[in-house]
A = this chain, B = another copy of it.
Amino acid sequence: MITNTSIRKKRFYLAFLLLFLGLHLQANLPHPTLLLTKKGVKEIKSSQKKAPLFRQTVENAKQEIDIVLTKPMEVPLPKDAGGGYTHEVHKKNYMDMLNAGLVYQITGDKKYAGYAKEMLLRYAEMYPKLGLHPVQKSNYRGKLFWQGLNECVWLVHVSQAYDCVYDYLTEAERKHIEKNLFYPMCDFIARENISAFNKIHNHGTWAVAAVGMIGYVMGDKDLTGKALYGYNKDRKGGFLSQIEQLFSPDGYFTEGPYYQRYALQPFVMFAQVVENNQPELKIFEYNDGMILKAVDVEFQLMEPDGQIFYLNDALDKTWHTAELVYALNVAYNMQPHKKDLLDIARKQNRVILSEAGLRVAKDLHKGETKPYIRKTMLLRDGAKGEDGAIAVLRAGNKDETAAVMKYTSHGLSHGHYDKLSITFYDNYHEIIKDYGAARFLNIEPKNGGHYLPENNTFAMQTVAHNTLVVDETSHFKGNIRISEKYSPEHLFFKNTDRIKVAGAEDTNAYPGTVMNRKIALISDERLEYPVLADVFTVKSEEKHQFDLPFYFMGQLISTNFEYEAHTSQRHTFGTRYGYQHLWVEAMGKTEKPAACLTFLNGNRFYSITSLVNPDTELFINRIGANDPEFNLKNNPCFILRDKNLSERTYVNIVEPHGEFNPVLEYTNAPCSNIQSVKLIENSQSKAIVEITLKSGETVKAEIGK
């Protein structure tokens, strides 16, 4: 809501003018002053010998920038969208300027400062002449980039580069650059796009960080005030409001861990900058230490090799990304007692070039690392923690067996229709997987590197997830406006040595239908490995068709049921809500009480044992139909289908077993160890499942409070 625009515009220009005239007053500010500080540079010079990883990172940065220095500098007129040529050049330029600035500060070699200066002048030359970016795909266009967001990211980096070479520049050069580049850019980001700047959204965080960081460099308190308290400094926007509202009380970001990673970077960077410049604000303690809590949560929402959980729109990203190096370094710098963070730092194998990175590298070198422990945890969603949750159950074994149930709110525009869906991990592999997003990030020939059409038509749809679909229709009929109003009810969560459980219930995804899922990760000495017990009850006033998919990863080894395979002709599973993207490869039924499907992943076998009715249809499907551009991954899927029922309780056991050892040429237990499964009791908040093993032993699991 913009009111009194003309007054504000005047105020902004007034501030600008005062600042511009009074620049010499700021000349005695110490520089650098952002993530890397003057004090930090001293420390680095005196003690980097004791921090080999820091030196290695400096060396790498130097090697990179040395190559850049041999090539002609390019500052092209903006033309291309994400992944395109000018887009990539402007991205590379901000990294190059930042590298040059940092390497200048650490080595003192002026050729690096000279490079950054030259490029800053080139941008200062071009920027005033730019209109909006010619690509009109975004509501929030930038000038250098097709998205305003990228413009902010550019400034977050370039403000640091400028900070590093500030003292190297003459006053006249600084004036010139600030007048032609940074002030117009701040005006564009903060005033012209005030709704994005003031929005409580991760795009807003980048905007305030950008304006705040260049504000600190230029010593402009008006800009830093806007950044912290909102454009009108009324707390209706700005960094502090974002810290209050963007994460749940447990530190979960509603879009999911893939975007939490991205959202964290401006929080972490800007918080460190605020801490360095206004320590009295105690920014890291703000809102119950929210920023550090959110960093902690992010590293927990990963597979043991560092892959971020595929939930909502998520791609292949690990803790190796730059933003998570920043997050880890800053978090450790603020909490140097958390020695387990060094375990991740060791795997990241690089640090940021600041005091924080120096500290990480020094302590790594001192051998202070402790093993990083992934924990069983409940993460509530919503600013008040009332919008459902993600339950992460971890067996705590060396194979890192884990199960995740997601029953959060929709998750904004990157959310999926995936209420109560589960995933399962074991032995450093994804066993029951969420598809994540359909996108080839930055690969131009794939829709310009953007989300692909199949992200909407398949990846977001309910049938792409390991949860129930009623009548071949996605939750909330795939309508985000409705979906974002609701989240499932949290029922219970318990963490004991032997069993970890979680339960939740949804009554909104399909009006008139109650879906209740209770899961348990059971570690029992009678079991070869921990197993996942999954009790999914659906009840409705009317009769429906139910589909419960399991996207299993691996090569199908055997089934205990007969099926008809579609071996020479193939058809799709349906026509809409993602069904059109599934090929039916086979369909079977069984008179046995439980169907069992076994597959091989890595060197271990996995069986899904499912209680079935004689009429339950057992589909073996594969992703890939209606995909003319070959955009989808052709993963297989096991789907249980029941027709014409008003109630059904699905009991599934996901069980790792045996070993396939091609090196030593032996195989153990390629068939399930389970003889039978019994549901002894089932109410809203409690189920009791009894698993009888082929050894004759039984394992009982109480899944409830």
**Residues of A bordering B, CB below 8 Å:** 83, 88, 91-92, 315-318, 320-322, 440-446, 449, 555-558, 565, 567-572, 580, 583, 585-586, 598, 600, 620, 622, 625-628, 630, 633-634, 660, 662-667, 670-671
CB within 8 Å for A570 and B557 given contacts A445-B671, A449-B667, A666-B88:
no
Interchain CB contact (< 8 A) of A570 among B92, B316, B317, B570: B570
Chain B neighbourhood of A556, CB < 8 A: 630
Chain B neighbourhood of A572, CB < 8 A: 568
* A/B interface sample: 18 pairs, CB < 8 A: A83-B667, A88-B667, A92-B666, A316-B662, A318-B663, A321-B663, A440-B557, A440-B600, A441-B662, A442-B667, A444-B670, A445-B598, A446-B558, A556-B630, A568-B571, A568-B580, A569-B571, A570-B583
Instruction: Give bound CA distance, A323 to B614, whole Å.
Output: 49
* B626 touching A568, Cβ below 8 Å: yes
* A320 touching B670, Cβ below 8 Å: no
Chain B neighbourhood of A600, CB < 8 A: 440, 443
Chain B neighbourhood of A446, CB < 8 A: 557-558
Instruction: Give bound CA distance, A86 to B262, whole Å.
Output: 55
Chain B residue at smallest Cβ distance from A580: B568
Can you name 14 extra interface pairs (CB under 8 A) apart from A91-B665, A568-B572, A568-B580?
Answer: A320-B663, A321-B663, A440-B555, A442-B660, A442-B665, A443-B600, A443-B667, A445-B558, A446-B558, A555-B630, A555-B633, A570-B570, A585-B630, A622-B634
Instruction: Give bound CA distance, A88 to B665, whole Å.
Output: 10
Chain B neighbourhood of A444, CB < 8 A: 667, 670-671
Copies in the complex: 2
Chain B neighbourhood of A88, CB < 8 A: 666-667
Chain B residue at smallest Cβ distance from A569: B571
Chain B neighbourhood of A630, CB < 8 A: 555-556, 585, 620
> Which of A444, A445, A580, A622 counts the most B-chain CB atoms under 10 A from its CB?
A445
Instruction: Give bound CA distance, A446 to B83, whole Å.
Output: 45
* A317 touching B662, Cβ below 8 Å: yes
Min CB distance, A575 to chain B, in Å? 9
Chain B neighbourhood of A586, CB < 8 A: 628
* A443 touching B626, Cβ below 8 Å: no
Instruction: Give bound CA distance, A630 to B638, whole Å.
Output: 13
Q: Which 7 A-B residue pairings sit nearest by Cβ, starting from the closest?
A: A565-B628, A445-B558, A556-B630, A570-B570, A442-B667, A567-B626, A320-B663
Instruction: Give bound CA distance, A89 to B570, whole Å.
Output: 43
